[in-house]
Structure 1
Amino acid sequence: MNSQNKTRTRQQRIESLGIPKPKFVQWWQDSDKADWAARIAIGVLAATALLVICKAWEPRFAYRSGTIPMRDVIARVNFEVENKMQTEAMRLQKVREVPVFYRNRTAPLEQLRARLKNRLFVIQASRSMQEMSDEERKAFAEFSSLEPITPESAGEDRASPADRFKAIKAVLGGDPELEKVDTAFRTLRTTEFKNGLLQSLKHEPEQGSQRVIRVYVTDPEDSVHVNLDDVQVALMEQKIDKTLAEEFRRLFDGQVDPDQARMVAQMIGEWIYTRLPEYETLTYDDEASEAARAEIAASVPPVMKKYYAGQTELADAGEPLNADELELLRQEHAQWTKYRGLTDRLARLAAYAGMIAALYLLCGSYIVFVDDRSLVMDRSKLTRLLILMISAIGISFWVASDKYRSELAPLVVASIIAAIVYGRDLALLLMSAACISVTLFLNEDLRHLVMLTAACTSCTLLTGRIRSHSHLLFVGAVSAAVTALTVVGVGIVGGETMTVAPGAEPGVEEIAPTATTFLDVLSVLVEEALRSGAFILVSAAALTPLLPMVEKAFGVQTDLSLLSLSDASHPLLRRLAQRAPGTYNHSINVASIAEAAADAIGANGLLVRVGAYFHDIGKMFKPEYFIENQSGINQHDSLQPAMSTLVIIAHVKDGADLARNHHLPQPLIDLIMQHHGTTLVEYFFNEAAKRSEENPNETQVSDKDFRYPGPKPQTLEAAVMMLADAVESASRTLVDPTPARIQNLVDRIAQKKMADGQFDECGLTFRQLNLVRKSLVKSLTAIYHARVKYPSQQPA
């Protein structure tokens, strides 16, 4: 006897009573908590990413160019905005006053001095006017053709060429090396020409001062301010005459006649003056001047205009917003956003988080209780679904700026993808949630929501079965037309085209509430409608070449890809026809009758047909072990029933491996795996049971060892294929396949499959099962219909 007492815990004692627990508690204890935690983490991560992408804590600017406010827009906060016109005017005024830079090059004056001395040396070499050479005469003409005037105090008439020649010879005779002339020119250069010479300004009035310039020799930092009058060539005549007269009087004082010295000074001065335009020394420095203009412009403070909260009107009701009003509203919105504190931002973030949670609950409940709960129970499917929706909403948010206004494009693409992957019903719910989210994130009104919903709903409903490359183009065109009409209609209903009818109240002067006419506003609506339609059309058309990527990413097939797989030249089908011609013929017959049955209950008949082509490709490995490929010799006669069963059921796994190796889509692989479900291999089971009864030493046979591994059909298409495969094989055993016998055969097989629980996981209803039976009977009757015997077939 065991002396140790086994004590039970309180919980164990309660459970020993056998009282059932509440369903929720029992479900929670039995559930895989790690899997639930992973799926919840995926949902929370997706919601967080959406809140961050759409900046849920920050209100979005709600106005766009062309928007027609329903009410006058009044400032919500006090703010200041730069008056750009006045600021620009002040900057232009300052720029007009800034001295610009000119560089002074002295080399031209050296050239002028050397030229002067050269011409005077030529004249000095002549003895008299009569004996001048051509060169001497030409040089003297440069001076004699001018009109030097003697001082008015002398009262003399205009000097003759002979007097001028005599004066030059007299004055310069005492200066054979022209050192005194050189000294006078140098004095002229250091006084009148020290800041350079300028024929005319090289910059426009808008580029700088027309009165003062800044002159430098090598470095702009060493520049000096110079009045234009001090360097302009046109004003140099008197300055040159005065300076040379004083210099000649000083240099030749007591050596020559003062009047002759004055005359020579005038002639040299006139000669220099007439040639100054050719020897301009100042050049405009645009780079340094631009830097000076930029500096002075930057130093001008902006002229600000004040706006007051609750008082200042920013935009008029009923008038389309122009660029200036839009910029003003942006400034007001930015200032209003700055005033919002942390509490307000957190409250806004929490509100959007609550909205996402509500949409999660709505869509999740529909998926779990109405649609396909595997979408939320399978982490891979859940992740793909959330990525699709978050991408659509996030991209719509970012491309909805006033520059692009293309938020429709991502939503249209998502609508078509959702319709292809999840079907119309679920796609409508998902895209409705997406449209609500985009509208709220963009801070738009009900009209915008109606436009988005019209586009997404029309695309979802029109997508359907994609059997041609032009189908999506058709979907985009019709959806674009529907959305365009919706935009115009909602705009009119919303009051954007409101006008005042003249003569509404006789005797009262009519004052229209807006200066915009009906046609003006209608043109804005039409422009918006055409833009929306264009985005829809382009998006739908652009998705067509991307369909293979969509199919691969979501594991679905469109009719286009299925049609390409139905080609008899597919390598697997060609090999099947060569190695197992009986199986190939059987597959063709199953495809024919299964497609019609699937179409009868609204399933995807094309998927069933293509799946039927490939459902028995695993028989290629050992075709001689299957009755349809045998020619008198049965390979199973030498095998035990259990071994024969293993060979038979192996074709399912072999077929799936072949399909994966040839990259067939997952739905076709599923049909291959499920078309036998967990049915019993009856012939070999009965044979084993018979042998067990005959030999008392053998153990009792269990049917579990003679069943296919499954899984059972998970879709309507798999259920239809299971029935079609079974009835087509069985119908070959009928000796006289009359309609009554065919119907009896189909009913018996369908009843057996149903009783065996093969349809428990696919959602097949009794009504659908009845439709499938009728279709199969009709198809088999057509195949085995009676034929009239021709005379040649009559017995002799």
Structure 2
Amino acid sequence: MSGASKNRTRQERVESLGIQKPRWIQWWQNSDKADVSSRVGIALIAALALLLVCETWRPPFAYRLNAIPARDLISRVTFEVPNIDETKTLQDRKRREQLAFYRNRPQPIDQLNAALRDQLFLVLSAPSFDRLTEDERNAFAQFYEDDETDPNDTPANRFSMLKTVLASDPELKTLDDAIKVAMRDNYRFGLIMALQHVPDQGSQERIKVYPVGRPDEVEFVEIADARIAQAGVALAKRLREQFRTKFPADDSQKVAGMISDWIVSKLPKYETLEYDDTLSEQARQAAAESVVPVMTTFRHGESKLAEAGKTLRESDIRLLKREWGELVSKMQWTDKAIRMVAYAGMISALYLLCATYIFFVDDKRLLLDRFRLTRMLAVMVVTIGLGYWVSGDRWRGELVPLVMASILTAVVYGRELALLLMTAACVSVTLFLGSNLAELVTFAAACTSCILLLGRIRTRTHLLYIGATSAVITVLTVIGVGIVTGQTLSIGAPVAGIDSLYRGPQFDMVVWGLVKEAFWSGFCILVSASAMTPLLPLVEKGFGVQTDLSLLELGDASHPLLRRLAQRAPGTYNHSINVASIAEAAADSIGANGLLVRVGAYFHDIGKMFKPEYFIENQSAGINQHDSLQPAMSTLVIIAHVKDGADLARSHHLPEPIIDFILQHHGTTLVEYFYREAARRSEEDPNGETVNDKDFRYPGPKPQTLEAAVMMLADTIESASRTLVDPTPSRIQNLVDAIANKKMSDGQFDECGLTFMQLDRIRRSLVKSLTAIYHARVKYPGQQSA
């Protein structure tokens, strides 16, 4: 019996031999191609994000302030930079060459002329010299004093000359015209005893003069024409010329001298010019800005930008940045593409290393679950990106994101995988920044020590202990690596005749810089560990893990309500933070739930965000919205924040104990300010109705728990403490006692079971906390109390 034969394909014939295929081929044939493609796409997007965020298309700027280059830094491109010193010298010269502005107010000259006429009329009214009265003689003495050298030049003769010459001008109109013509330049140019500006403020030879109120009518004036000492001589000369034409008598020149001498003697009291600092400074500033900057050229391969073995100063950093910016601007697109491809190859190698370990050793579900893979890659991208952007001289904070990511990955993924991930992150940051081996060792020491010391987080201070220990390790590592790399041994020349490591001031500066860098690194680690403590609830929620600190989740500062409160009512938010601080300590002092009180304090005033401007802590620029409202209406607005806060809390699904804090933190207390204002207005109004205090009380209920009672006291006392002019411990003590007694006498603690002993402990705790906040400070001589 024969059957029909079936032709097999080549692939089927190969498989019939039973030879096992490689694992990766079997995995590819059995996998979901769409799922694999999506996960590969996620990895590619993360890699592209790193390439873009870290600006891999351009070379990194690897120089740091106070760093010590091992070789001379030669310019890699020809560029120009402004010579600040020479430019400033030119600007200063321009400022000194500018003409200063002076305001001319000629009224004093008119007053001088009027005084002259008064004195002349007084003298000329006398019929003869012998019949001069005492006042007339005193007036005449101003025009002439006895000249003992000339026996013929007597006062009587001078008086006769004055009468004779001016006899033809009884009303002194001709004289007035002559004086005005002679003083025409003085009216125009002004008069001044000495310049009112220094040489650095403008020219000392010429000035710009303008009439008061007309700054556009500027006139250039030589100083000699306005200086009284010199202008007086010219004035006397011009007056004699006027007398020669207007008074042809023989003795007119002597009379002209008498009058000019009187005028010149009085001129110092009649200055008309006043320095205008505003216009002068504007002119000087415009002149300085018009100066074209002096440029210094640095040539490619020739100009030295920094010297080997010397610390980089701020001027060196600015020059290197200018050279780096010029280099980047001249790069071709092909150069940028090649750099990005090289960095992409580095990222691919790190991907392969980490993925292989995760898939074959750790937990392959991290790679197979797209959501978990996205979270892990996002953590790495954010960590490396932040490390890149905060690494400049302004912050030097690249350790902060690296240490925080070390703690996070250790909590979420465990120590082993965290070590691998953070090794990849440290290598990436080092290469993206263009840092050296010493920086990589520092990064590795900080991250590794945090991961290995982490363990289980049992207390809120655990991360602080980890941060302190890791900080010490990193400080020692930075100093050790600095010594190993020779930063302290190759600086400066040895002191003659002394065979020691001491190298002089430059050596001291380098050692001090190394110590500062080490302690700054330790400080960054402490900050990072401290910052991770409040962020742990987010880590728990975002990554689905639990720690012993999950109770703090609700108090996270990133909660939407708290963020909105901080944006809409920053003053209320700050008040809430302060209340939380002092209330938690007070609750702990009586054995209450301090953490619950603290979280409740964060949310107790969220209702104020609806109308933040009606609460004094959010008001600014002296604007009070209540000025336009009646006291009863203001009270309704104030009281409404309790109900609004409770409604807002319920809509955001806050726990019921937190809502109780919102409802009970004011109890049924009286809104005293508006109650008293309403009572005052009622007393002033004969037809006013009697004010009932029930209309000005919160709806309650009164505090039902010890925690709510602590919240009430802390809230009221913290607000009242801001009004203390000089918050000394005794004044704080009196304030706390007064408020506590008032709340107790008002019956606010009747329903919470608070005892006198507990109330006393709460008061002492609040006094202690507020005293710490308003601790005494040194008063310097002349300092006033706030």
Give the TM interval when normalised to the shorter protein: 0.5 to 0.7
Residue 68 of structure 1 contacts residue 496 of structure 1 at CA under 8 Å; is this kept in 2? Answer: yes
1:618 paired residue number: none
1:184 paired residue number: 178
Q: Does 1:167 align with 2:161?
A: yes
Cα distance in 2 for partners of 1:244, 1:166 equals 20
The one-character-per-residue Cα deviations of 1:175-209 (angstroms, maximum 9, x if unpaired) are 12211121122112323442222222222212221
The one-character-per-residue Cα deviations of 1:686-742 (angstroms, maximum 9, x if unpaired) are xxxxxxxxxxxxxxxxxxxxxxxxxxxxxxxxxxxxxxxxxxxxxxxxxxxxxxxxx
Displacement of 1:84: 1.9
Residue 494 of structure 2 contacts residue 503 of structure 2 at CA under 8 Å; is this kept in 1? Answer: no
1:635 paired residue number: none
Residue 105 of structure 1 contacts residue 196 of structure 1 at CA under 8 Å; is this kept in 2? Answer: yes
1:234 paired residue number: 229
Residue 96 of structure 2 contacts residue 199 of structure 2 at CA under 8 Å; is this kept in 1? Answer: yes
Q: Which moved more, 1:105-114 or 1:466-475?
A: 105-114
Change (3 A) 1:14 1:214: farther
1:250 paired residue number: 245
2:429 paired residue number: 438
Residue 81 of structure 2 contacts residue 295 of structure 2 at CA under 8 Å; is this kept in 1? Answer: yes
Residue 495 of structure 2 contacts residue 502 of structure 2 at CA under 8 Å; is this kept in 1? Answer: no
Displacement of 1:138: 4.6
Displacement of 1:436: 1.1
1:77 paired residue number: 77
Q: Which amino acid aligns with 1:539?
A: S
Number of residue pairs the alignment of both structures matches: 550
Residue 148 of structure 1 contacts residue 263 of structure 1 at CA under 8 Å; is this kept in 2? Answer: no
Q: Which amino acid aligns with 1:413?
A: M
Q: Which amino acid aligns with 1:398?
A: W
Change (3 A) 1:13 1:348: closer
2:688 paired residue number: none
Change (3 A) 1:490 1:122: same
Residue 73 of structure 1 contacts residue 315 of structure 1 at CA under 8 Å; is this kept in 2? Answer: yes
1:479 pairs with 470, 484, 489, which one? Answer: 470
Displacement of 1:21: 9.4
Change (3 A) 1:93 1:64: same
Cα distance in 2 for partners of 1:500, 1:323 equals 19
Change (3 A) 1:561 1:271: same
Displacement of 1:561: 2.8
Residue 367 of structure 1 contacts residue 375 of structure 1 at CA under 8 Å; is this kept in 2? Answer: yes
Change (3 A) 1:445 1:320: same
Change (3 A) 1:408 1:77: same
Residue 500 of structure 1 contacts residue 513 of structure 1 at CA under 8 Å; is this kept in 2? Answer: no
Residue 489 of structure 2 contacts residue 501 of structure 2 at CA under 8 Å; is this kept in 1? Answer: no
Residue 67 of structure 1 contacts residue 321 of structure 1 at CA under 8 Å; is this kept in 2? Answer: yes
1:195 paired residue number: 189
Residue 499 of structure 1 contacts residue 517 of structure 1 at CA under 8 Å; is this kept in 2? Answer: no
1:626 paired residue number: none
Corresponding residue SS for 1:214:
strand
Cα distance in 2 for partners of 1:293, 1:501 equals 45
Q: Which moved more, 1:378-387 or 1:119-128?
A: 119-128
Displacement of 1:73: 1.9
1:327 paired residue number: 318
The alignment's TM-score, normalised by the length of structure 2, stands at: 0.64
Change (3 A) 1:557 1:95: same
* CA root-mean-square deviation: 3.6
1:416 paired residue number: 407
Displacement of 1:347: 1.0
Displacement of 1:504: 13
1:539 paired residue number: 528
Q: Which amino acid aligns with 1:433?
A: A
Change (3 A) 1:304 1:662: closer
Residue 476 of structure 1 contacts residue 539 of structure 1 at CA under 8 Å; is this kept in 2? Answer: yes
Cα distance in 1 for partners of 2:99, 2:232 equals 25
Q: How does 1:469-618 map to 2 (within 5 A)?
A: 469-499=460-490, 518-561=507-550
Corresponding residue SS for 2:296:
strand
Displacement of 1:26: 5.5
The one-character-per-residue Cα deviations of 1:389-441 (angstroms, maximum 9, x if unpaired) are 22221122111111221211121111111111111111111111111111111
Structure 2: any 5+ residue segments left out of the alignment? 1-5, 555-652, 656-786
Cα distance in 2 for partners of 1:294, 1:467 equals 64
The alignment's TM-score, normalised by the length of structure 1, stands at: 0.63
Cα distance in 2 for partners of 1:115, 1:10 equals 131
Change (3 A) 1:330 1:196: same
Residue 314 of structure 1 contacts residue 329 of structure 1 at CA under 8 Å; is this kept in 2? Answer: yes
Q: Which amino acid aligns with 2:549?
A: L
Cα distance in 2 for partners of 1:437, 1:334 equals 23
Q: How does 1:48-447 map to 2 (within 5 A)?
A: 48-128=48-128, 132=132, 135-144=135-144, 156=150, 159-217=153-211, 219-253=214-248, 256=249, 258-259=250-251, 261-447=252-438
Q: Percent identity between the aligned chains?
A: 47
Displacement of 1:310: 2.8
Q: Which moved more, 1:92-101 or 1:463-472?
A: 92-101
Cα distance in 2 for partners of 1:112, 1:397 equals 76
Q: Which moved more, 1:517-526 or 1:452-461?
A: 517-526
Residue 363 of structure 1 contacts residue 430 of structure 1 at CA under 8 Å; is this kept in 2? Answer: yes
Change (3 A) 1:182 1:474: same
Change (3 A) 1:417 1:465: same
1:736 paired residue number: none
Change (3 A) 1:342 1:135: farther
Change (3 A) 1:128 1:408: farther
Displacement of 1:17: 8.1
Cα distance in 1 for partners of 2:552, 2:105 equals 84
Residue 148 of structure 1 contacts residue 270 of structure 1 at CA under 8 Å; is this kept in 2? Answer: no
Change (3 A) 1:551 1:179: same
Cα distance in 1 for partners of 2:654, 2:315 equals 62
Cα distance in 2 for partners of 1:662, 1:225 equals 78
Cα distance in 1 for partners of 2:522, 2:73 equals 29
Q: Which amino acid aligns with 1:120?
A: L
Residue 318 of structure 1 contacts residue 516 of structure 1 at CA under 8 Å; is this kept in 2? Answer: no
Residue 192 of structure 1 contacts residue 239 of structure 1 at CA under 8 Å; is this kept in 2? Answer: no
Cα distance in 1 for partners of 2:410, 2:417 equals 8
Structure number with bigger Rg: 1
Displacement of 1:18: 11
Change (3 A) 1:473 1:158: farther
Q: Which amino acid aligns with 1:56?
A: T
Corresponding residue SS for 2:264:
helix
Cα distance in 2 for partners of 1:473, 1:511 equals 41
Displacement of 1:450: 0.8
Displacement of 1:291: 3.0
The one-character-per-residue Cα deviations of 1:212-231 (angstroms, maximum 9, x if unpaired) are 22223355554232221111
Displacement of 1:525: 0.8
Change (3 A) 1:275 1:511: farther
Cα distance in 2 for partners of 1:111, 1:511 equals 83
Displacement of 1:454: 0.9
Structure 1: any 5+ residue segments left out of the alignment? 1-6, 150-154, 566-660, 664-796
Q: Which amino acid aligns with 1:409?
A: V
Residue 445 of structure 2 contacts residue 477 of structure 2 at CA under 8 Å; is this kept in 1? Answer: yes
Change (3 A) 1:438 1:293: same
Corresponding residue SS for 2:549:
helix
Displacement of 1:47: 2.1
Q: Which moved more, 1:17-26 or 1:58-67?
A: 17-26
Cα distance in 2 for partners of 1:233, 1:214 equals 17
Change (3 A) 1:9 1:173: farther
Residue 384 of structure 2 contacts residue 425 of structure 2 at CA under 8 Å; is this kept in 1? Answer: yes
Q: Which amino acid aligns with 1:245?
A: R
Q: Which amino acid aligns with 2:526?
A: L
